[in-house]
Amino acid sequence: MSVRKHLFIEGRVQGVTFRASTRRMADKLGLDGWVRNLSDGGVEAVFEGDREDVERMVDWCRRGPAPAKVENVREKDEQPVGLEGFEIKY
């Protein structure tokens, strides 16, 4: 069963390979969705896929890549819309 999570990630999450690392992890887990930087210095991401894999991705986002310092993750459950692939939005 497919689920969708919409995340807003705060902290030192820009300029630390967060988006590229997120895409690599999402690809590894077979998730669909996207990630982008926000003007407030945060990162926004959407993940669709198997519940267990999406939860693993959310757990990873709470830490991020080694240079990141994640301070807060706001999470929303949403209805999947059938995204295909994972992209970095600019």
Active site residue 72: no
86 within a domain of the structure (yes/no): no
SS3 content of the chain, % helix, strand, coil (to 5): 25, 40, 30
Q: Which of 19, 23, 24, 72 is catalytic?
A: 19
- Using the CB atoms, write b or e for 12-37: b if 16+ within 10 Å: ebbebebbebbbebbeebebbbbbeb
Q: Which domain holds residue 62?
A: 2-79
- Does residue 1 have a pLDDT over 80? no
14 within a domain of the structure (yes/no): yes
Q: Which residue shows structure tokens 């999406």? A: 54
66 within a domain of the structure (yes/no): yes
85 within a domain of the structure (yes/no): no
Q: Which of 12, 36, 37, 56 is catalytic?
A: 37
63: domain CATH number is: 3.30.70.100
> Which two three-digit tokens encode residue 23?
């895409």
Strand partners of residue 51: none
Could you read off the pLDDT of 58-82 as tens digits, one per residue? 999 999 999 999 999 999 999 999 9
Active site residue 37: yes
Question: What is the pTM assigned to this prediction?
Answer: 0.96
Could you read off the pLDDT of 22-55 as tens digits, one per residue? 999 999 999 999 999 999 999 999 999 999 999 9
Q: How many domains does the chain have?
A: 1
